[in-house]
Chains A and B, each alone.
Chain A
Amino acid sequence: METVLSANDLCVGYVCRCGVSPIHHHLNFSLRRGELVCLCGANGAGKSTLLRTISKLQPQLAGEITLMEKPLESYSEKELSRTIGVVLTDRAQTGGLTVEEVVSLGRQPYTGFFGRLSTEDKELVKNAIESVGMAEYTKKYMAELSDGERQKVMIAKTLVQECPVVILDEPTAFLDVASRIEITQLLHDIAHTQNRAVLLSTHDLEQALRLSDKLWLLTTHGLQTGSPEELIANHQIDTLFEGRNVYFDEKSGTFRSKSICDR
């Protein structure tokens, strides 16, 4: 499978008035087409920082990121908008827009000065809304949708951006179990059937273990990557919550409290 994004010796963190504060050094990873990758880590591990750095919403501190055989830094806004599509946790003021209008915004990298949609654009928008299962909501206002449905609309928006890489920051946070399963399954299908690289951060380890092709574990030791089976077999998954009062139970495939086990 074709590698679309890779990082070499990457350093991520924040640039603030007081200087540079790195969170992680020497990160190496690659992302391939047709692959669903779940990024897991404890709160504050730097998941969002890493995702924002990869999507160039935040500068990289050192090292290099290669996107489609070109350094990420060399991308113009326009080029990048056709290569990486993002779904963020930012609160948007989209309530007064219809589902169709929001998804159409994803065509902005391709449309002209006033953003007028061509017949093909409209067709793409229609197909994207169908593929996330929101066809009957096309003309509804975003305000009328549940959180899970809004998330599906934002995913449809990235689909019409026609980019090989889709990056999602906690797309299943605040969702009920049913929506979590639906969204993760949807992203899995998108990666496999549309041959895109899908990278998402999540706290939902159960879905991540079940559906992802690869897991990225972000801990204080850095980033460890591998298939879920590998990471469980060589106990790397245990490092995820090191120093906390939990352990990974291989039989059930979930983390459990150590204190209950002692009793």
Chain B
Amino acid sequence: MSTLLVALFLGNIFCGSVDIPSKEVLNILCGGEATKESWKFIILDSRLPQAITALLSGPALAVCGLLLQTYFNNPLAGPSILGINSGASLGVAVVMLIMGGSVGIGALNFTGFLAVLVGAIIGSLLVMAILLLFSSFVKGNLTLLIIGIMVGYLTSSAISLLNFFATTEGVHSYVIWGMGTFGGVSSAQLPYFSITVLIGLVASVLMIKPLNALLLGERYAENLGVNIRKIRNLILLTVGLLTACVTAFCGPIAFIGLAVPHISRLLIGSSNHTTLLPFTLLTGTVMALLCNLACILPSDGGILPLNAITPLLGAPVIIYVLVNQRKIQYFN
């Protein structure tokens, strides 16, 4: 898996819509001068940040899916299906509207970055709070999922209403953003983006022990000394932060959060978070790099939207899991 990761990362840098000889790429990466100045720009300011964004967003979304699936005791939970990234989108849309409607995300400075991030976090936390509220008195996993989907629709319609008041340019940039891309983080924003995501990832690794206890259910976990309120808030914050950060800059990306935990469980044959969580991070990275590569590979036609690729890889996995749920251990 790690070798695959390295290979895909290099693939992401060496391939793209502009053909650049491999030798030149290596030269540029090592800090040398390129034959063409534009090539250097493409590698260092486009491909490298894009690959690093994918490298971080993949595990971020995947681990969100895992945390939600464990916490809600629901194998079909995920940041996109529960409407959490729609919440983040709404936050982004509101902030962008306040800031003048047509501000492109790529052009943001640090204050802008912070404003958009805070907006997205508030949006995603709001949705998670609604879900938690419902989960306390709604019985049954399916009901909660459907409520999540409904919340997603509600936020989407709110966004559409907001778009009505935005400029044409603003709507256009919003639509492009909605298709999803790992290319939305500029090299200037990359450090802030990376630090935010890394904080969330580290937090998730620190929760491994209580997450395992939660597999037994909340009351058992409580009896094993887990402070349920604390861990719930921590999961809420982590998922909110990660989903918000990735959604704000890459668009609402579907299926990575839902499918990757399943792929990981199937591959290692365990739901023990001690191994499952790190492996999910790894698989998430591989998945994101793979999807990004698939987006940039058709070199003559430009770049495909990310949300055109992720369902192609994710949906069959979910269907496989659902069809075979009687045979799959972690379902029983």
Contact = CB atoms under 8 A, between A and B. Distances in A.
Given A108-B224, A109-B224, A141-B329, A94 B215 contact: yes
A15 B223 CA distance: 20
Contacts of A106: 224
A81 B270 CA distance: 26
Contacts of A105: 212-213, 215-216, 224
Contacts of B191: none
Query: Could you say which interface size class chain B belongs to?
Result: 20 to 34
A94 B265 CA distance: 13
B73 to A, nearest CB: 5
B329 A96 contact: yes
Nearest to A94: B215
Contacts, number: 97
Interface residues of A, number: 36
A251 interface: no
A82 B292 CA distance: 49
A93 B73 contact: yes
Tell me what chain B mostly uses at the interface: helix, strand, loop, or mixed: helix
A223 to B, nearest CB: 23
B209 A92 contact: no
Given A96-B271, A141-B329, A90 B209 contact: no
Nearest to A101: B272
Interface of B: 70, 73, 206, 208-209, 212-213, 215-220, 222-227, 265, 269-272, 274, 329-332
28 contacts: A55-B223, A77-B225, A81-B223, A81-B224, A86-B219, A88-B217, A88-B220, A90-B216, A90-B217, A90-B218, A91-B217, A92-B216, A92-B217, A92-B220, A93-B271, A93-B330, A95-B271, A95-B332, A96-B271, A97-B272, A105-B212, A106-B224, A108-B212, A108-B226, A115-B212, A143-B329, A143-B332, A144-B329
Interface of A: 52, 55, 57, 77-78, 80-82, 84-86, 88, 90-98, 101-102, 105-106, 108-109, 111, 113-115, 141-144, 161
